[in-house]
Structure 1
C-alpha cells in the first residue's frame, strides 16, 4: 500500500487536511513510519508542516517554549536546558534523537514517551491552534485529538529541583522498564514544600504519583522520611506487561527506583 505525502506551509491548512479519514500527521516520523513499515494500513496519507516556528526554542527568564518539531538532540545541545538533557537523551539512540520530536513524544504509547514523563512532572502546557491546555488534560484526550500540537511551555526548573531516571535493560538506548521524573521545591532546611512526580510505564500513558507527592510534603529527603512516599507510589498504577518486563515486576521495582531518585 502506498502512502501519499502532503506538505503545508501553515498549521491551519494542515489542520484542515488532517480532518480527512485516513490521514496522519508526520513529525519526526519515528512512530508513524515504523507503524507503516509494520503493516498499519489505517493510514493512506501523511501530512507535514514546514512552518519554521515549529522548530524554535525560546527561553525567556524562567519560561521555556519548545516548538512541537524541536528534536531531542536539539534540546540536549542547549546549555540552558541542561536540566532536561537526561530526559532528552533517554529517547533512543543518536539517530532517533535527531528525528524524534517534542510533539511526537506526547503521542508515544507506553513503553515509549519518556520525555512526556518529564513534561508532566514540570506541569507543562500544550499549545494547539485552539489555545493552551494543561498537559494532563492533553494526555487524557490525546487518542481522540485531531489538532496539531504547535508547542509546549513550562517554567525552567532549577537543576537541583528536577530529577529524571529511566530504567532499561539495554544501555543507553533500551526500551523503558519504567521512567520517573520529579520536580521538588524545598525549604532552606531541606523540607519538601511541593512535589510533582510523573511515572512512565505505570499506565498506558504518563501518570502522576499523587499519593507519593502528598506523602512527601514536609519531609526531608532521607531514607526514613521518604519511606511512606515510596509505599504510596504504587497507589493507582496499572503497569503494562510487554516483552521487556511484566506488570508485577514494574510495580515491584518502582519504589526501589523512586527511592534512588529521591536520595540522589
Structure 2
C-alpha cells in the first residue's frame, strides 16, 4: 500500500492535516512510526511532517521548563539545566535511538516503552496540543489515559516545574538488557517537602498498566509524613493498589506485582 508524505512549514498546518485524515500519522524521530510501517502496518496511508522550529524549542531559563515535542533525548542529555532528567533520557535505547527519539513521540510509546512519559507523569507535566479545533493544554494524566482519542492532534511541547532539589525527583528503570532494554517496569517519584515532611507526593509507574499510571495509594501513605522507614514501608505495602500490570515476553503480571514494592523501596531509600 503506497504511503504519502506531506511536509508543512508550520505546526498548525501539520495539525490540520492530522485532524482531517484519519489514516495520517505524524513523523517526528520515527522510532515508532517507521517501525510500524516497516512491520507492515497498513492503517497508515499518510505521513505528516513539520519543519516548524518551535517544535524543537527548549526553554530552561525559569522554574517552569518547556520542552518542544521534537526535542530529542540526546539534546536533553546535552542540556545541563535538565540534569534531573538525564537518568531518564539516558535509560532510553542506545545512542542511535536517543539521537532520533523525541519527547513528544515518547508520550505515545506503548507499554513496556514510554519511560520518559513515566517521568513526566510524576512531574505533573502539561502537554500543549494543536488540533483542528485549536490549541489547548492537557494535564499529562488526562493525556495518557485518553491518548488513543488524541491521536489526531499534534503535540507541540510539554512543560513542567523544575524539582526544588536533587532529592525531590527520583527515577528507576528495571530492564533485563542494559542499557537499552525495554522496561520490566519503570518508577518515578516527585517528593517535594516542607518542614521535613512530604507535600504533594507523586509516584508514577510504567508497565504496571496499559499506560503509565500513578500509585495513588502509595502517594497517600507518603503525604504529610517524614520519609522514614515506617513511612516507606506503608508506601511499599500500597504499591500495587490500583495497578493492572501486563504479561509480556519480559515479565509476567504476577512477577511485576511481586517486585514493584521491592523497587519502590529502593527508589525511596536511594539504593542503587
Quote the offset at 1:259 in angstroms. Answer: 0.3
Aligned residue in 1 for 2:59: 58
Quote the offset at 1:174 in angstroms. Answer: 0.6
* Secondary structure, counterpart of 1:33 in structure 2: helix
Q: Number of residues paired by the alignment?
A: 263
* Secondary structure, counterpart of 1:60 in structure 2: coil
Separation in 1, partners of 2:199, 2:103: 29
Taking only aligned residues, the RMSD between alpha carbons, in angstroms, comes to 1.1
Aligned residue in 2 for 1:40: 41
Matches within 5 A, 1:1-264: 1-18=1-18, 19-129=20-130, 130-145=135-150, 146-157=152-163, 158-188=165-195, 190-264=196-270
Cα distance change of structure 1 residues 47 and 222 upon mapping to structure 2, 3 Å threshold: same
Structure 1 stretches of 4+ with a deviation exceeding 3 A read none
Quote the offset at 1:260 in angstroms. Answer: 0.1
TM-score (norm 1): 0.97
Separation in 2, partners of 1:9, 1:54: 11
CA contact (8 A) 1:163 1:181 kept: yes
1:99-145: per-residue Cα shift (whole Å, max 9, x none)?
A: 11111001111100000000000000000132212111111211011
TM-score (norm 2): 0.94
Is the deviation greater in 16-25 or in 35-44? 16-25
Separation in 2, partners of 1:8, 1:30: 20
* Secondary structure, counterpart of 1:127 in structure 2: strand
Separation in 1, partners of 2:269, 2:246: 26
1:46-78: per-residue Cα shift (whole Å, max 9, x none)?
A: 001000110111013211000000001100111
Separation in 1, partners of 2:61, 2:67: 12
Quote the offset at 1:261 in angstroms. Answer: 0.4
* Secondary structure, counterpart of 2:118 in structure 1: helix
* Secondary structure, counterpart of 1:203 in structure 2: coil
Structure 1: runs of 5+ lacking an equivalent: none
Quote the offset at 1:186 in angstroms. Answer: 1.9
1:190-228: per-residue Cα shift (whole Å, max 9, x none)?
A: 332220000000111110001100001233333333111
CA contact (8 A) 1:202 1:240 kept: yes
Structure 2: runs of 5+ lacking an equivalent: none
Quote the offset at 1:13 in angstroms. Answer: 1.2
